[in-house]
Amino acid sequence: MAKHSENEVFDETNDENSGVTAILCNWIVGLDKKDIPEEVLERAKHLILDGIACGLIGAHVPWSEQAVDAVLAYEPEGQCNLIGYEEKLGPLAAACLNGGFIQATELDDYHSVAPLHSASVVLGSLFAAAQVKNTKVRGSSANGQSNGTREPGHTVPGIDFLIAAIAGFETGPRSGMAIHGADLLVRGWHSGVVFGCPAAAAASSKLLGLSAVNIESAIGIACTQACGLMAAQFEGMIKRMQHGIAARNGLFGALLARNGYVGIKKVYERRYGGFLNMFSQGNTKTPRYDVQEVVAGLGDVWHTSRIRFKLHACVGGCHGLVEAVEKLQKDHPQRFAGEALANIKSIKVGLSETILHHDGWAPHERPLTSTGSQMCAAYISATQLIDNQVLIAQFADSQLNRDEVWELVNKTTCHHDSQFDYPNLGCGAHVTVEFEDGTTLEETVRMPKGFDPPITNEEVRNKYRRLAASVIDQERVEKIEKLVLAIDQLKDISELLEVLAKPTKSGMN
CATH number at residue 371: 3.30.1330.120
pLDDT in tens, 78-97: 999 999 999 999 999 999 99
- pLDDT higher than threshold 80 for residue 444: yes
Domain boundary among 402, 420, 445: 445
Residue 7 in domain: no
- Tell me what the mean pLDDT of segment 157-175 comes to: 98
Residue type, 340: A
- The confidence band for 133, taking pLDDT boundaries of 50, 70 and 90, is low
Verify that 376 and 272 share a domain, yes or no: no
- pLDDT of the residue at 507: 67
User: Which whole-number Å values give the CA distances from 216 to 15, 158, 209, 294, 302, in the listed order?
Assistant: 18, 24, 13, 13, 21
Containing structural domain, residue 63:
19-309+480-500
- pLDDT of the residue at 425: 86
- pLDDT of the residue at 14: 84
Residue 170 in domain: yes
Verify that 23 and 167 share a domain, yes or no: yes
3-class SS of residue 153: coil
Residue 12 in domain: no
- The confidence band for 154, taking pLDDT boundaries of 50, 70 and 90, is low
Do residues 499 and 472 touch, judged by C-beta distance below 8 A? no
Verify that 78 and 135 share a domain, yes or no: yes
- Tell me what the mean pLDDT of segment 153-179 comes to: 94
- pLDDT of the residue at 147: 52
- pLDDT higher than threshold 80 for residue 9: no
- pLDDT higher than threshold 80 for residue 148: no
Residue 401 in domain: yes
- pLDDT of the residue at 426: 87
Residue 360 in domain: yes
Closest CA to 426 of 436, 435, 416: 416
Verify that 130 and 38 share a domain, yes or no: yes
- pLDDT higher than threshold 60 for residue 151: no
- pLDDT higher than threshold 70 for residue 326: yes
Residue 204 in domain: yes
Verify that 42 and 149 share a domain, yes or no: yes
Verify that 222 and 105 share a domain, yes or no: yes
Helix axes 474-485, 38-58, angle to 10 degrees: 150
Select the more confidently predicted residue: 312 or 423: 312
Residue type, 298: L
Q: ∠ CA(426), CA(11), CA(113), 5° rounding?
A: 15
User: Which whole-number Å values give the CA distances from 259 to 26, 151, 392, in the listed order?
Assistant: 19, 15, 42
pLDDT in tens, 247-285: 999 999 999 999 999 999 999 999 999 999 999 999 999
Domain boundary among 426, 445, 464: 445
- pLDDT of the residue at 452: 74
Verify that 305 and 354 share a domain, yes or no: no
- pLDDT higher than threshold 80 for residue 141: no
**Other beta carbons less than 10 A from residue 463's beta carbon:** 20
- pLDDT higher than threshold 90 for residue 149: no
- pLDDT of the residue at 506: 79
- pLDDT of the residue at 7: 41
Residue 391 in domain: yes
Closest CA to 130 of 196, 76, 208: 208
Q: What is the C-alpha to C-alpha distance for residues 403 and 158, in angstroms, rounded to an integer?
A: 50
- pLDDT of the residue at 152: 45
Verify that 146 and 44 share a domain, yes or no: yes
Do residues 128 and 80 touch, judged by C-beta distance below 8 A? yes
Q: What is the C-alpha to C-alpha distance for residues 505 and 482, in angstroms, rounded to an integer?
A: 21
Q: What is the C-alpha to C-alpha distance for residues 131 and 276, in angstroms, rounded to an integer?
A: 32
Q: What is the mean pLDDT of the chain?
A: 93
Q: What is the C-alpha to C-alpha distance for residues 235 and 475, in angstroms, rounded to an integer?
A: 38
Verify that 196 and 330 share a domain, yes or no: no
Select the more confidently predicted residue: 236 or 163: 163
- pLDDT higher than threshold 70 for residue 13: no
Residue 14 in domain: no
| Global pTM exceeds 0.75 | yes
- pLDDT of the residue at 30: 98
Verify that 419 and 303 share a domain, yes or no: no
- The confidence band for 139, taking pLDDT boundaries of 50, 70 and 90, is low
Q: How many separate domains does the chain show? A: 2
- The confidence band for 150, taking pLDDT boundaries of 50, 70 and 90, is very low
- The confidence band for 429, taking pLDDT boundaries of 50, 70 and 90, is very high
Verify that 288 and 331 share a domain, yes or no: no
Looking up residue 146, the CATH number of its domain turns out to be: 1.10.4100.10
Rg for the chain, CA atoms, rounded: 23
Verify that 395 and 287 share a domain, yes or no: no
- pLDDT of the residue at 451: 76
Percentage of the residues of the chain whose pLDDT score is greater than 90: 88
- The confidence band for 11, taking pLDDT boundaries of 50, 70 and 90, is low
Select the more confidently predicted residue: 140 or 508: 508
- The confidence band for 198, taking pLDDT boundaries of 50, 70 and 90, is very high
